[in-house]
Structure 1
Amino acid sequence: MKPGKVYLIGAGPGDPGLFTLKGQECMARAGVVIYDYLAAPALLALAAKEAECIYVGKKGGDHTLSQEGINRLIVEKARTGRTVVRLKGGDPFIFGRGGEEAEVLQAEGIPFEVVPGVTAGIAASAYAGIPLTHRKMTATLAFVTGHEDPTKEDSRIDWEALSRGIGTLVFYMGVKNLPLITAKLLQYGRSPQTPVALIRWGSTSRQQTVTGTLSTIEEEVRKAGLQAPAIIVVGEVVDLRANLAWFEKERPLLGKRILVTRAREQASDLLHQLTELGAHCIEMPTIRVQEPKDLSAMDSAIERLNRYDWLVFTSANGVKYFFQRLFEKGLDVRALHQVKTACIGPVTAQRLLSFGIRCDILPESYRAESVVDAFRTEAMAGQRVLLPRAEEARSVLPDSLREMGADVDEVTAYVTLPVTDQAEALVSILEKKEADIVTFTSSSTVRNFKALLPENRFTELTDTLKVASIGPITSDTARALGFSVHTEALEYTIPGLVQALCQDWA
């Protein structure tokens, strides 16, 4: 069989936004993805659903496969005729052993291409506010492996030339060897006052930067507890960080580890906003949303749309699944030409507008009681109202409309089901204290979150976890189930929740 092509792709330093367009194109057509520890997990989402993804990472000396094993694996998968992506952290040709893999492919007669990536030394320094070159400070720059033992007799590093002849030094994989690196630089004439920075997880929400000088950096790193993976930058340019540290200064939630419990198909907006503000988001969906098995009530309502005066939506999901079924029945928005509409909040109204319909009622605050208040100015006696919504929704709105004299038909547009396969992962995260805050965007997310935890360990697992709620209804549910609510949105929307998190936890 003719071998498939292999793409040696640099995954970049950690921020998925720095991945190249060429890399995205290759990922989309890959049949096999072989990826490293430092490749951002979000990049795997770019692969086709049917692609085979194989982890071969190396972390702290723990190698899933040896380099020889990785080489054999790449060749083996290419021999099946499929397109193979070898996804490597940073750039494949800068301390990534991509050259060795390319040599093996060449020897085996397998076609390959190299797609460069943003190397960690450049990206981490830039995100820390350190320009590696500056015409007033230095015109020379060197990338050096910090993984080599500087004390061995056959070292390939010319320490004297580095110490005296290069303005900025960037060491990769050198955290464990920091004492030896500083000792060698001092031994060969570098000033003890030379500024030094260590940047851990550069360009990501977990970025941590420690600065000092050659004479103090070991102690500063020890006090900060900084560990690998990190980049070491040595040179006068490190002093520019004091004024140029843009990434860490403009991310109010930088380093905050936030559990997002919203349904995966709805979580993207919240994840994006929190990530942009520096948070490290952990997707832990506790609910999933789908259409009901029995659509007879919905179908009956759609067949009789011309009898309704009002169509009321209490969620974006209600809008989505109503129109999905409307279209499946062979109709379109023209079937609603005589119907007035009301929405519970701006997100729901925007979803409705995406179908070309502007709502007639939008309350000032976003809960069922506010919709009721908005209807008090309408003559509702004898009005027919269609309310497509969740299977288990509060009865406040339909009961109040009936009290006003309206004839209300409630139909199930969608059902919210618990996610039950996340219990082990969630318990592990909470045991290790790997989350600072959990966000709840509905009462169902709270109930299902607690259901994933062993009842006898609830207090132990959540004792340090802070709770952020989208509004008072969700907060009441959380308190009733034993949670303490630390943050509550003033505006009961995703942007309102994000704003409250920034105010309370910046």
Structure 2
Amino acid sequence: MPKTGRVYLVGAGPGDPSLVTLKAKWLIEQADVILYDHLIPASILEWSKNEAQCISVGKQKGAHIATQSQINDLLISHAKVGHIVLRLKGGDPLVFGRAGEEMQVLSDHGIPFEIVPGITSAFAVPAYGGIPITHRHLSRSVALVTGTLDTQLPPSAQSLPSADTLIFLMAVTHLSEIVDHLLSMDRFGPDTPASLIYRGASSQQRQVTGTLASITQQRDDEQISHPSLLVVGKVVGLSKQFQWTQHSPLFGQRIILLRSPGQVQPWISTLSLLGAEVLNYPLLGYEPMKLDAERCLAQIKTATHVIISSRNGVQFLVQALQDQLGSDLRILAGKQLSVVGPKTAEALSQYGIKASLIPSDYSSKGLIDALPSDLGNDEIFIVGSTASPDTLTKGLKAQGATVHHVPFYRPVKRVLKQALDIQENDRVVLTSGELAQTFFEQCPDLPKIKAICFGESSVGIVKKNQQNPVILEAASLDALCTCLMGRNL
């Protein structure tokens, strides 16, 4: 009989991947089965292991993929065969997340479970709207209320808690009834401040702030829809003064990265700290090529100059020297060693090797321009990939060099856990032609996006797909940040 597994009821936060807790991320990486809700950002499923099953059980207004009973059955059946099961919910699992019902079912079946709290939208969304839900002089109590009314009872018969600040989740549909109920209470009047926030703590955040007398009309005028949260109380009056997101230069921008997990974290950290919502979909993986060992070794030994075109090149060169060529990096001793950019130089430095040349323009053309115009006496060995453009090889041959371009690795397309979630005006960062081609193959019916290209190799592909490219001045994270903060996309 198989050992019973374990179920984790996990909160994924209000929607921005940077607000997912560390423990939630660790569990996503380890889970065998992930049952996820509608508002979970698709990109965080890419943290899961390749063999993990990711099953959408999302609920949204008017459309349930799975009933609660079906979700309970899935939790039980997968746990009973020994799986680590992750029930991934938006916000916090115990705040209007029906985790209490799931805990009861698991307990009844003797299945061990654990709760992993998340940042609830009830707290995060007001914070992103500049509303402190408690304040020493204005609000000494706060209450969370579901905006979904019991249809069997009239609104006037449904009690509301007594608190200085009330936060209504899922508040849009019954907003007028909620307002009428509040106005029937002695504690609230038409001038009581109220704020309705759509998709708070995300790049799509929209907020209308007024009073109980005006908020319903403001919802209609601004077409505020689901999912939205209503905050009522004196603290809402501080919102205009405390709009801190206005000082985050990239707040409101949604940036799509397509980089491999091992290379993307500095990008996510930098862009998130500038206020952006960052999603990463690693479309490509890489695998080593089978080399002609004797020929490859001979070419490296006779080369006067070795060029490594990427950080991946460093990794696969070291691996090939050890696994296929029976050598190591000492074979590069005495040779001029050039790289296309500082990140490749940094990867080399981890092995105690310093690059001889890093061009100021981090591109193949920049490297060609940085080398002598007459290379007639040079034999150059390039560590590349099967997808490397021939710009470097042609340019060096034009300057008289003998060139051996050897692909040490090749890109392979990854199967994503869920289709890419691309929205209009997303900033999509394309660092290579191969990546651009793969992206457009996976997203044939795109809305208008902002395609940001690292170099010329992806520009033609972007134009072919009826999108307008923006070409960075340099192929670097700094140049990307400068471009995004310029707001000239």
TM-score (norm 1): 0.83
Aligned-residue offset at 1:343: 1.4
Say if 1:253 and 1:278, in contact at 8 Å, map to a contact too.
yes
Structure 1 residue 91: deviation in Å?
2.1
Cα separation, partners in 2 of 1:451 and 1:137, compared to 1, 3 Å: closer
**What do the CA deviations read for 1:10-30 (whole angstroms, capped 9, x no partner)?**
232223333344444544554
> Helix, strand or coil for the counterpart of 2:200?
coil
Check whether the contact 1:150–1:181 (CA below 8 A) recurs between aligned residues: no
1:240 aligned partner: 238
**How far, CA to CA, are the matches of 1:465 and 1:204 in structure 2?**
18
Describe the shift of the 1:200–1:302 C-alpha distance in structure 2 as closer, same or farther (beyond 3 A).
farther
Does the CA contact (< 8 Å) of 1:150 and 1:180 recur in 2?
no
Q: What's the offset of the Cα at 1:147?
A: 0.6
Deviations 1:81-140 (A, max 9, x none): 333332222222221222222222233333333332222201212222211100011101
Counterpart in the other structure of 2:430: 440
Aligned equivalent of 1:186: 183
- Rounded to whole Å, the distance in 2 between the matches of 1:151 and 1:239 is 34
Q: Deviations over 1:48-72 (max 9, x none)?
A: 4433333222111322222233223
Partner of 1:219: 217
Note if contact 1:173-1:229 (Cα within 8 Å) is conserved in structure 2: yes
Structure 2 counterpart of 1:110, which letter?
Answer: I
Shift of 1:482: 7.0
* Greater helix share, structure number: 1
1:57-96 to structure 2, matched below 5 A, reads 57-96=58-97
Cα distance between partner residues in 1 of 2:382 and 2:344: 14
**Cα RMSD over matched residues?**
3.5
- Residue number among 251, 257, 281 corresponding to 1:254 in the alignment: 251
Q: Secondary structure of the residue that 1:504 maps to in structure 2?
A: coil
Deviation at 1:451, TM superposition (A): 6.0
Q: What corresponds to 1:467 in structure 2?
A: 451
SS of 1:244's equivalent? coil
Shift of 1:144: 0.9
**Residues 41 and 398 of structure 1, relative CA distance in 2, 3 Å threshold:** closer
Q: Report the counterpart of residue 205 of structure 2 in structure 1.
A: 207
Contact 2:339 2:355 in 1 (8 A): yes
Could you say if the C-alpha distance between residues 71 and 262 of structure 1 is closer, same or farther in structure 2, counting changes exceeding 3 Å? closer
Cα separation, 2, equivalents of 1:17 and 1:47: 16
Could you say which residue in structure 2 is the equivalent of 1:102? 103
1:324-403 matches, within 5 Å, as 324-328=319-323, 329-376=325-372, 380-391=375-386, 393-402=388-397
Could you report, residue by residue, the CA deviation over 1:255-285 in whole angstroms, capped at 9, with x for unpaired residues?
A: 4445545677766655555455444556667
| Paired residues, number | 485
Instruction: State the shift of 1:241 in Å.
Output: 2.1
Aligned to 1:301: 296
- Cα deviation for residue 300 of structure 1 reads 2.3
The structural deviation recorded for 1:446 is 4.4
Do 1:387 and 1:411's aligned partners in 2 also have CA atoms closer than 8 Å? yes
CA change 1:124–1:302 in 2 (3 A) is farther
Query: Structure 1 residues 57 and 132, CA, compared in 2 at 3 Å: closer, same or farther?
Result: same
Query: Which digits, 9 at most, give the CA deviation of each residue in 1:290-327, with x for residues without a partner?
Result: 444x522x662235533222111233333332222123
Partner of 2:126: 125
Q: Structure 1, unaligned stretches of length 5 or more?
A: 455-460
Distance in 2 between residues matched to 1:142 and 1:504, nearest whole Å:
39
Q: Which residue of 2 aligns with 1:230?
A: 228
> Do the aligned residues in 1 keep the contact of 2:16 with 2:277 (CA within 8 Å)?
no
Query: Alignment partner for residue 166 of structure 1, among 153, 163, 167?
Result: 163
Question: Cα offset for 1:174?
Answer: 1.5
Q: Deviation of residue 477 (structure 1)? A: 6.2
- Equivalence for 1:311: 306
The one-letter code of the counterpart of 2:433 is S
Paired residue secondary structure (2:334): coil
* Partner residue in 2 for 1:113: 114
Q: Secondary structure of the residue that 1:408 maps to in structure 2? A: strand
Unaligned runs of 5+ in 2: none
TM-score by length of 2: 0.85
